[in-house]
Amino acid sequence: MSIELPSPDRGRRPKGFSQILLGMGLSTGLAILFGIIGLVIAYNNLRLDVPTGKQAVLIRKTGLDLQPDQELAPPPENGQYFKGVQAGGVNNGVLTEGRYFFNPLEWGWEVKEQMIIPEGQLGVRVSLVGEDLPVGQVLAEDGQKGIRREVLRPGRYPYNWYAESIEIHKPVAVAAQSRGVVTNLAGKLAANPNQILVQTGERGVQKETLPPGTYYINPYETRVSVVDCSTKAFALNEGGKMDFLSADGFEVTVDGTVTFRVDPTRASEVFVLYNEDSNGDEIDTEIISKIITPETRSICRINGSKLTGGQFISGDDREQFQANLVKSLTENCRKQGVEILEVAITSILPPEAIATPVRAREVAKQQLQQYKQEKLQQDAEAQLKVQQLLAQQKKAVVEAEQSVIEQTTKAEQEQKVAVTLAEQLLSVGQTQLEASKDKAAAIESEGQAAADVIRLKNTAEVAGITTRVAAFKGDGNALAQNMIMAKFAPSFRTIMTNTEGPIMDLLKQAFTPAEKRPEMLSKPLKAVSPVTIPDQPFTSSPAVGTSSKPLKESGVK
């Protein structure tokens, strides 16, 4: 027999099922939550953040052991790392800014600041691992322990502090009017160790110096000593009086100022010879104490012992002593690389016991010299006056001569101008004369021609008259009466009845026979009555006897 169990209602779940689902969801959520938390924890443990300006060095926890002579882990071999501080890679095992992931079970790390070299300074690397340097070698090469040659300029640099250190130094600043004396601390040894200055590149003090400027130089490779070559002054009595004995045993004291400087071209030599380590780079004190003061004292003693105490008061001997001191000191210091620019002797003091009488004698000599000088000056002024008067006289003579020359030149020029004008007038006159002669000749020729014409005409007329006179049987009077009548008769219109007058007298004379004319000529002429002048000129008339109109006694119209 079977027992039928009641079936649950459709749509209804068992009472414990929702609880099961709720439990499953809660566990899943918790698992996810724990998974996320685990991932976050793992992410944070695996993550390596290197901030800006920092650096990290990796340290291997597991792997191959280092050899006894190894300080840092070398690069991995066959994919296996060595334990310890890693030193391989671009930055010698250093991680720069960024995010990295490493298994903390296998790796550890340290984070520090990067090396910052400030402005105006430099850095020198010092390798802490590697092979030891051989004897005589100063700077380390790659793979050696010691100071590296390269210099780091101002900036930020990552470095492995287990493999190297960085030292901060100041660059060398060579000021104006100074020179930098270079001493090589590394390099090959000098071929001749007995020389003061070595050849270029050899270990020791170099001949060539550095001009003013800033130099980033490795202080372990090159040492630069700055030598001041500017002008300096030194008092001779500074640190003790400068005295010596004269030829006669008197003590003479000299005081003054010496201006000097180090010869820039020989700064290295002077520095090596006279610098003391206790004074650093300063050599002024050594130059004064070792060169200028001994040279000055030696020259004064040698030259001063040749003069007596009184001669140091005399102007000539005193000046000669000063000149010799300046010359000798300048030459001797130049040989030692020091230039003497000026030596000013302010006083040379002999003993007062001899200074007073000698000074009085010198004053008298100077006064005498002054009087002589005044006399010479007066003579010179008088001579100058004479020269001025002579110059004025010579100037007047020159001006007079110049005036005479000017007047003579002017007269000669005027004479030349007058002669030129006269010659021009003469030429014009001659030309006019020739023209006048030509014109006179032409007029003469013309007159001669006219005269010839008149002569020929007169000859013709005479021939005609002769012929006509012959017509009147040689009676010229008859011909004249005929001609007069021929002229007058055609033109007369009226003749007044008065038969007396000059016209009538002329007519009477014309018609009076020649034998009776003297009587008529002796009679006086009467008043002339008015006569009508013919309008037409006289013309030729027919011969006498041919007129058709007889003359009337009363007149003719």
**Domain closes at, from 74, 89, 113:** 113
Q: Are residues 330 and 377 in the same domain?
A: no
Do the beta carbons of residue 69 and residue 123 sit within 8 Å? no
* Within a domain: 478: yes
Residue 552 has pLDDT above 60, yes or no: no
* Within a domain: 236: yes
* Residues 212-246 pLDDT 10s: 999 999 999 999 999 999 999 988 888 778 888 88
pLDDT attached to residue 231: 93
Q: Are residues 237 and 334 in the same domain?
A: yes
**Domain closes at, from 183, 201, 227:** 227
Q: Are residues 455 and 552 in the same domain?
A: no
E strand segments, 211-364: 213-215, 222-228, 232-235, 242-245, 251-262, 338-349
Q: Are residues 265 and 335 in the same domain?
A: yes
Q: Are residues 185 and 273 in the same domain?
A: no
For all residues of the chain together, what is the average pLDDT?
80
* Within a domain: 9: no
* Within a domain: 535: yes
Q: Are residues 477 and 461 in the same domain?
A: no
Q: Are residues 217 and 253 in the same domain?
A: no
Q: Are residues 450 and 493 in the same domain?
A: no
Q: Are residues 80 and 177 in the same domain?
A: no
Q: Are residues 32 and 55 in the same domain?
A: yes
- Taking alpha carbons only, the member of 123, 101, 105 closest to residue 56 is 101
pLDDT attached to residue 209: 93
536: confidence class by pLDDT, cuts 50, 70, 90:
very low
Q: Are residues 300 and 236 in the same domain?
A: yes
Number of H helices, E strands in the chain: 9, 20
509: confidence class by pLDDT, cuts 50, 70, 90:
low
- Taking alpha carbons only, the member of 537, 534, 540 closest to residue 557 is 534
* Within a domain: 159: no
Structural domain boundaries, residue 260: 229-307+317-349
Q: What is the three-class DSSP state of 350?
A: coil
Residue 80 has pLDDT above 80, yes or no: yes
What CATH number is given to the structural domain containing 302? 3.30.479.30
Q: State the total domains in the chain.
A: 5
Q: Are residues 376 and 437 in the same domain?
A: yes
257 vs 325: CA distance, rounded Å: 12
Tokens 């490795």 -> residue: 218
**Domain closes at, from 201, 227, 253:** 227
* Within a domain: 16: no
